[in-house]
Chain A
Amino acid sequence: MFEFIYDILQFFLHILITDFKYENFLLTLLSGIIIAFAVINAVLGGVLALIWGERRLLGRFQQRSGPNRWGPQGILTSTADAVKVMFKEDIIPEEADKYIFNLAPLLLVVPVFIIFSVIPFGIGLYAVNINVSVLFILAVTSISGLSIICAAWASANRIAIFSALRSVAMLISYEIPVGLSLVGILLITESMSVMDIVNFHNMPFILIQPVAAVVFFLGSLAEINRTPFDLTEAESELAAGYQNDYSGMKWGLFYLGEFAAAIAAASVFSTLFLGGPNGPILPGIFWLTIKVVAVLFLIIWIRATWPRFRIDQVLNLAWKGLFELTLVNIVVTSIAVIIWPDGESNRMIYIALANWIFVFPFLFIIFRLLKTKNYDDNDIKKVTYPVGSDKPKFEKAGN
């Protein structure tokens, strides 16, 4: 992708002047800008479509029609929102720490766009190919916690501080299960680069590593503050938490960052576990969009149905639930990898079977431990207070 654009630019440059001292620097800079421009606009387009799609889908889940006033079927709603937010007044609270207050939205949005630089959109259609891209993704996702802290601390608002402390505790405790759940895949493919993982085998990794997929999905739900882990801006308690004091385009950036993070999480999940752009007939880019849309549908579906956890249950689930699951997964996969080394014919099927048999039941055992006592129905009818057991005095004494 990069060389392709580099040659085209070189061809055009040679028409004007043949040799130019800084030619190589200029061309790399220009093609880099073009690729970055393309990727960012693709993601922004995706965000606008996701905002519209989510609001209408949530509406349809609740038997109402969702926004349909601007443009046919409400397609221009998100653009109308964006334009409105740009012109809204930009308030900075009095005792706010101005610089950190302005820095916070950028800190949230920029890392999300960086993730897309590593994701392959098709065969050879990628922005950058680093050989440790999985590590790169994990490193970049951890910056968003910092931005939430900056936003809350700068806006000097007690409820925002509540939401920031909650979100830091949650993000840190969920980074470890997310990181460890990928170890299984790395063991099998012996390479950290997303390109190798994608074209390693035609069978998607979700079948080979079921538990790792579940843990990664739940972890990424917590990373992007989505139900059932949306504790940072729990409407009923904190009413938009750290975004309380933001208005105008700063709030717009937060809103955009939140939805872009959802697309990022969905695309990372589909590249790693659903095999990214490879699929039978259609070109790579279509397969990636179909998988991302499917994962986004699942995220929105969960958001429309499940209530949210409490902070202690969220941390409980992370440390006592998902963490152990990833360890079990690593142990089983490493044994499977040793038993069936590289040369085997249908090695993947054996590993997949090993995972399904040994690791999948653990999912229910550990979640069972987390759950509270089930509601036993027999104590419904037990009446504890003796209503009407005694007679008033004037009836008792018979007078």
Chain B
Amino acid sequence: MKNWNGITLAKEINSHLEKSVLDSNDNDVYVDPEKIYQVMKFLKETSGFSFDLLSSITAVDYYDHFEVVYHLKSLITLSKATIKAKVGYGRQDEPKIQSVYSLWKGADFQEREIYDLMGIKFEDHPNMKRILLWDGFPGHPLRKDFVTNDQSIVEDSKK
């Protein structure tokens, strides 16, 4: 199972979709969040990449910005790659990114879980609501600034 070198992959993507790759190092590629859908569509459909298995989507909270990480696997070319997108700078606006549900149905539950725990909204996802916690849960627990003291959760959810 060969691992795509981030830089070569970035060059390939850039040659097809200009200015979609912001930065890349040797094992992952940072993609511009607005163009995430086109990049993923390109990676899934073209013959040399054909990443047909979306292994996992995760999100990491780096205080000043969030990072959505896509791990892709290709059964046909036996190769894997990691694509990252930086979202929600400065924490004022609600972090938003395009959903890849229409490309891979497997993204459905994982994107809902990221929205539930991390608070990143995925646009035009069929039912974008919480998956693990109950609907009245205040805030998103996996964020670094989420303070957990049991009483506050109970009272807030009663409000």
Contact = CB atoms under 8 A, between A and B. Distances in A.
Interface of A: 385-397, 399
Contact of A387 (B8, B12, B49, B76): B76
A386 B50 CA distance: 12
Given A385-B75, A392-B4, A399-B8, 8 more contacts: A387-B78, A390-B48, A390-B76, A390-B77, A392-B49, A392-B74, A392-B79, A393-B12
Contacts of A394: 4-5, 8
A130 B47 CA distance: 84
Closest 10 CB pairs of A and B: A393-B48, A392-B77, A392-B79, A388-B78, A390-B76, A390-B77, A387-B75, A394-B8, A389-B76, A391-B77
A398 to B, nearest CB: 12
Contacts, number: 35
B159 interface: no
B105 interface: no
A111 B77 CA distance: 70
Contacts of A391: 77
B158 interface: no
Interface residues of B, number: 15
Contact of B49 (A386, A393, A395): A393
A392 to B, nearest CB: 4
Contact of A388 (B12, B47, B48, B75): B75
Interface of B: 2, 4-5, 8, 12, 47-50, 74-79
Nearest to A385: B75
A389 B8 CA distance: 22
Contacts of A389: 76
Nearest to A395: B2
B72 to A, nearest CB: 12
B158 to A, nearest CB: 27
A391 B77 CA distance: 5
A386 B5 CA distance: 24
A337 B40 CA distance: 80
A385 B75 CA distance: 9
A389 B79 CA distance: 12
Nearest to B51: A392
Contacts of B8: 394, 399
B26 to A, nearest CB: 13
B96 to A, nearest CB: 31
A245 B43 CA distance: 56
B75 A396 contact: no
A219 B77 CA distance: 58
A397 to B, nearest CB: 8
25 contacts: A385-B75, A387-B75, A388-B75, A388-B76, A388-B77, A390-B48, A390-B50, A391-B77, A392-B48, A392-B49, A392-B74, A392-B77, A392-B78, A392-B79, A393-B12, A393-B48, A393-B49, A393-B77, A394-B4, A394-B5, A394-B8, A395-B2, A396-B48, A397-B48, A399-B8
